[in-house]
Amino acid sequence: MRSVWWIWLWVWWCVPALAEVGEIPLKDPHRVVFFALGDQGSGSDHQRRVAAAMERVAAADRGVDFVLLLGDNFYPDGVASVTDPQWSSAFESIYTGKMLDKTPFLAILGNHDGHANPEAQVLYGLQSLGSGRWRMRGRQDVWEFGRGTGNQPLLRLVLLDSLAPVERQAEFARQALSGGGTPVWRLVAAHYPLRSSGRHGSSRALLTALLPVLQAGGVEAYLCGHDHHLEVIRRPGEPLQIISGAGGHVPYSVGERLPGSEFALQGQHGFFRVEVNPTSLLFTAFDDRGERLHQSRIDR
């Protein structure tokens, strides 16, 4: 038992600090393309339709570099172990096709994932089980991708553990954003929204503790799920907020739109495509047929 305890302690404290540049090879070192979606892990026909749409969009783009899963990866209560049958029914057998079969999936935890054994999701990634596509090196993590016009990283992607206390999330984000070289772009992803026009609404705790850290760290965009809709919120002085929680579970309606909400899709499934290059960030919303719905842009 003591040896098991030390293994979990290592996973919790050491693995999240890693940022292994180049572990996921890029087709173009000056361009990063990925899909972002959350609340997908239902194993339902809805999830399969979104996956099929992702495959079509990826094929039109000759592939994507990775997929970012924004939590609630397995409904209703996460997975019990690395051999849980949901690994097949809600992940491996869902994301298939010539493109997705060879695409890495970076994942973070959602509230439903915390009901059972969230560490099993970390171990599934660390042990490269199944198809080996599941990439989860810790409950929080930092990745860097590509190169800018100089020698600086093109993208630093900070993944937060939304099951941890907000203060711990904010401290990890502060350290991740201030360490290392200066990337061209900084994105942060977590499960819970800062602001949302959806059912769960905005988080006062995150707005108080995390938002000032993101602002001080120069974060350009914050990606999340939890509310089961697609939305883009652009407010002066804040990171662009991308809510992508329509990945496969029952979609939510959207109430009165918040100030700064420039796009919202309710009652329908979909996902976002994110393109990063040295001069711009592009966030494109697609529905579950692969139809383009909206694009938001940030230019350098």
The domain segmentation of the chain, as residue ranges, is 2-299
Average pLDDT for residues 30-45, to the nearest whole number? Answer: 97
pLDDT value at residue 300: 87
Strand, coil or helix: 192: coil
pLDDT band at 252 (very low <50, low <70, confident <90, very high): confident
pLDDT confidence band for 266 (50 / 70 / 90): confident
Q: Look-up: residue for tokens 């929204």?
A: 193
Write the CA distances from 72 to 97, 142, 179, 196, integer angstroms: 23, 20, 29, 17
What phi and psi, each to the nearest 5 degrees, are found at residue 192? -90, 140
Confidence of residue 148 (pLDDT cuts 50, 70, 90): confident
Residue 116 has pLDDT above 50, yes or no: yes
Distance between CA atoms of 10 and 58, rounded to whole angstroms?
Answer: 36
pLDDT of residue 48 exceeding 60: yes
Instruction: Indicate whether 69 pLDDT > 80.
Output: yes
Residue 113 has pLDDT above 90, yes or no: yes
Contacts with 113 (C-beta within 8 Å, 6 or more apart), sequence order? 71, 72, 73, 74, 78, 79, 121, 163
| pLDDT over threshold 70, residue 273 | yes
Q: How many CA atoms lie within 13 A of 194 on its CB side?
A: 28
β 261-265/280-287 pair status: unpaired
Q: Residue 51 pLDDT more than 60? A: yes
Give tens-digit pLDDT for 200-212. 999 999 999 999 9
Least confident span in 20-24, 203-207, 263-267: 20-24
Task: Using alpha carbons, select from 224, 232, 275 the residue that is nearest to residue 34.
Answer: 275
Say yes or no to pLDDT of 115 above 80.
yes
Q: pLDDT at residue 2 above 60?
A: no
pLDDT of residue 187: 98
The model's pLDDT over 153-207, given as tens digits with 9 standing for 90+, comes to 999 999 999 999 999 999 999 999 997 778 999 999 999 999 999 989 999 999 9
Do 203 and 192 form a contact (C-beta atoms < 8 A)? yes
Domain 2-299 has CATH 3.60.21.10: yes
Q: Is 110 exposed, middle or buried (0-12, 13-18, 19+ CB in 10 A)?
A: buried
